[in-house]
Structure 1
Amino acid sequence: MRRKSLLLLLVASVLCYTLPAQQDDYVKPSLSDEDSWSLVLLPDVQTYMKFDYNQPILDLMLAWVTNNIEPLNIEMVLCTGDLVEQNDLFNPDGKKANQASVSQWGAVSSAFGRLDGQLPYILTIGNHDYGIVNAENRFTHFDEYFPPNKNRLNQKMLREVGLNVEGRPTLANATYEFAGPHGRKFLVLVLEFAPRDEALEWAKGVIEKEQYEDYTVILLTHSYLDSNNKHIVHENYKIPDPNYGEAIWQKLVQPSKNIQMVLAGHIGKPNDPEGHIAFRVDENAAGKKVSQMVFNAQALGGGWHGNGGDGWLRIFEFLPDGKTVKVKTFSPLFAISPTTQKYAWRTEPHDEFTFELD
């Protein structure tokens, strides 16, 4: 009997060392209510683009999105801007980037092309998408690589188009109409980085139109809150006529009666998730709650010149009650392997929470 017990103990010990570890705490993303629908928010993707060896991570993230359209009832994808590291750089040094800007723009356009005809995706532009390296002026290649006819599902939703600094139509200032599965009507308002007064006036004129007065407006822009949840007052960019977070709040968001969500990116701190995020709720002129969120990840996974952000994205689940929104933070990069699945969710209160629309 003793010999048999020792043999069983030996077998059990061997199995402990040879069988793969069970990720009992990993659960695939799913809806808490089968009648919910989802929106996926991507943070700044510039560091995925500036090194060719990082670009497959964004491809993986968008492949995960396409494979979860039905399980998560995904209706659209939004991105917070800084699509490339440099807008118009010809000679990268191999350290800050190893791709010329034309290659970066081609790569990000191709990556989002995976969603063409499958999902609408609405992008804003950031400071790195302007000028040569970093917003020396307001010239951008954005409209060349993301024209209005690139994705027929985007064009189907497109309603209003504003002008750029040259007086030409641009999707950097635009609105998209969307009817949610539960009856709530949405208008996604996209604004250029540090929008000019002219752009803010255009936006204000659009959302105040009678046809949109009962819509829930989602403002998507790049620079808005800092990591202390405060509106950004000033930044040292050379572009003319800039409005940062505090001015956007004072001139557009607070006076509005229908903006209820603001989504942005821009901020970051190497290898510190909390340095990339912010959230606050204030009231607009109609007394409606405005949930304002920053989500970024670009300096995670090795700092400013690391892997680009460890594949982090956010899933917004809109519940059938028409007002409750559940937010979760997930990485398809970590989820792809049983070895790393235990890292695929960030579950701190600032990464997994619920807010409500009025």
Structure 2
Amino acid sequence: MKNVLALSIVFWFFVGFIGPLCAQQDYEAPTLKSDDGWTLVLFPDTQSYVKFKRNQPILDLMANWVVENIDPLNIQLVLHVGDLVEHNAILNPDGKIGNQPGKSQWEAVSKSMGAFDDKVPFIATTGNHDYGIKNIENRKTSYNDYFPIDKNFHTQKLLREHALDEEGMPTLTNAAYEFKAPDGRRFLVLVLEFAPREANLNWAKEVVSKNEYQDHTVILLTHSYLNRNNEHIETEGYPISDKNYGKAVWEKLVKPSANIQMVFSGHIGAPDDMDGHVGFRTDLNAAGKKVHQMTFNAQALGGGWYGNGGDGWIRLLEFDGNQVSVSTFSPFFAISPSTRHLAWGDGPFKSFTFELD
């Protein structure tokens, strides 16, 4: 009996003290794999960080961690997959689905992403929750009001193309940004509105086919594209007309192109289920080039739809020549020695690589 008791004491000592201590010692902060590498940071849907005021400090932490690592990781771009807010224009939230009105949500995400304003280009697409009142009841959005082109002068310098909205006014919800990587490779980041209208798909086709972009590597940034089974989304039940979801975007824009090589999206999620937040597939476009299509979100992790907003997860993409190394990392977990052993994603969030043509 005494031996059993002694063994139990040793076991729980290891689990409660030695185990976490070993995990802390095993933790390694993100670093570049190559001296010639540079990093693109991908933010998931941030809507649940700003619909509850209590969660916004986590988003601030995430953004400021990126700023602190601009030099160590050679961060050149920060992209956002849309659904910046939960409610575009709600006036009186009930405290259950959120406790901040739409205006406060936009102010919150604009403030958090404002950490990049004088540091690094920030480019976002718009999701369904960025339109209408609660969830794209119409195509009205406050995005252009809270992310005007002169908000971030680094982003402004990259802007090359933009479409017009339904009222004939310039809009950044459909835009293209030209970026030259440290190794000289030229990129075009093409942004499309949620479930883009036919006219905006045609606009995008014209942009990527322009002579000046034929040698560029195009990244398409859109919101609704892949489901958790790595399939192109065919349809969704939102009350808007003239809409194109993932499958139509693939067939009408991406596949016929000669230079779109990456598609980044968000949108999908399932409560506390990492697998329900991600997707990845590679197909060939009409020119025979590989198109790597990646969906990344985290909004229902950390307690489901009404939890902490997504456990602080971001994606780090290191570019080194044609190779792209993808990892999933949480500055939220990394900030404390007691949780940093959780800071690197595994399972559906595990690291992987892909090759560009």
Please classify the TM superposition score into its range, dividing by the shorter chain length.
over 0.9
Aligned length: 344
Aligned to 1:127: 128
Which deviations, in whole Å up to 9, do the C-alpha atoms of 1:119-161 show, x marking residues without a partner? Answer: 0000001000000000100000000000010000010000001
Which deviations, in whole Å up to 9, do the C-alpha atoms of 1:226-271 show, x marking residues without a partner? Answer: 0000000000001120100000000000000000000000000000
Superposed, 1:31-110 pairs within 5 Å as 31-110=32-111
- Is the CA contact 2:328–2:349 (under 8 Å) kept in the aligned structure 1? no
Q: Secondary structure at the match of 2:149?
A: coil
Which deviations, in whole Å up to 9, do the C-alpha atoms of 1:188-217 show, x marking residues without a partner? Answer: 000000000000000000110001000000
Letter in structure 1 aligned against 2:29 = K
Whether 1:299 and 2:300 are equivalent positions in the alignment is: yes
Which deviations, in whole Å up to 9, do the C-alpha atoms of 1:1-28 show, x marking residues without a partner? Answer: xxxxxxxxx9xx89x9699824122100
Letter in structure 2 aligned against 1:252 = L
After superposition, the Cα gap between the structure-2 partners of 1:88 and 1:18, relative to the gap in structure 1 and judged at 3 Å, is: same
Q: How far apart in 1 are the matches of 2:48 and 2:176?
A: 27
Whether 1:335 and 2:331 are equivalent positions in the alignment is: no
Q: How far apart in 2 are the matches of 1:47 and 1:198?
A: 31
Whether 1:325 and 2:324 are equivalent positions in the alignment is: yes
Q: Secondary structure at the match of 2:283?
A: strand
- In structure 2, the gaps of 5 or more residues are 1-9
After superposition, the Cα gap between the structure-2 partners of 1:350 and 1:310, relative to the gap in structure 1 and judged at 3 Å, is: closer
Whether 1:164 and 2:169 are equivalent positions in the alignment is: no
Letter in structure 1 aligned against 2:135 = N
Aligned to 2:4: none
Percent identity at matched positions? 61
Which deviations, in whole Å up to 9, do the C-alpha atoms of 1:68-105 show, x marking residues without a partner? Answer: 00000000100000010000100000000000000000
Q: How far apart in 2 are the matches of 1:350 and 1:84?
A: 23
Letter in structure 2 aligned against 1:316 = L
Aligned to 1:234: 235
Letter in structure 2 aligned against 1:94 = G
- Is the CA contact 2:274–2:349 (under 8 Å) kept in the aligned structure 1? no
Aligned to 1:266: 267
Deviation at 1:296, TM superposition (A): 0.1
Q: How far apart in 2 are the matches of 1:331 and 1:18?
A: 23
Letter in structure 2 aligned against 1:335 = A
Aligned to 1:289: 290
Which deviations, in whole Å up to 9, do the C-alpha atoms of 1:152-181 show, x marking residues without a partner? Answer: 001000000112233221111000000111
Which deviations, in whole Å up to 9, do the C-alpha atoms of 1:252-308 show, x marking residues without a partner? Answer: 000000000000000000000010000000001100000000000000000000000
Which deviations, in whole Å up to 9, do the C-alpha atoms of 1:326-350 show, x marking residues without a partner? Answer: 0000000000001001100013365
Provide TM-score, normalisation by structure 2: 0.94
Q: How far apart in 2 are the matches of 1:274 and 1:156?
A: 37
Q: How far apart in 2 are the matches of 1:74 and 1:332?
A: 15
Provide TM-score, normalisation by structure 1: 0.94
Deviation at 1:351, TM superposition (A): 2.5
Aligned to 2:203: 202
Q: Secondary structure at the match of 1:77?
A: strand
Aligned to 2:142: 141
Whether 1:357 and 2:353 are equivalent positions in the alignment is: no
Q: How far apart in 1 are the matches of 2:34 and 2:17?
A: 39
Letter in structure 1 aligned against 2:328 = T
Q: Secondary structure at the match of 1:218?
A: strand
Q: How far apart in 2 are the matches of 1:140 and 1:19?
A: 49
Greater Cα offset, 166-175 or 219-228: 166-175
Q: How far apart in 2 are the matches of 1:79 and 1:331?
A: 16
Letter in structure 2 aligned against 1:134 = N
Q: How far apart in 2 are the matches of 1:70 and 1:28?
A: 14
Aligned to 1:21: 21
Q: Secondary structure at the match of 2:354?
A: strand
Aligned to 2:174: 173
- Is the CA contact 2:334–2:340 (under 8 Å) kept in the aligned structure 1? yes
Q: Secondary structure at the match of 2:150?
A: coil
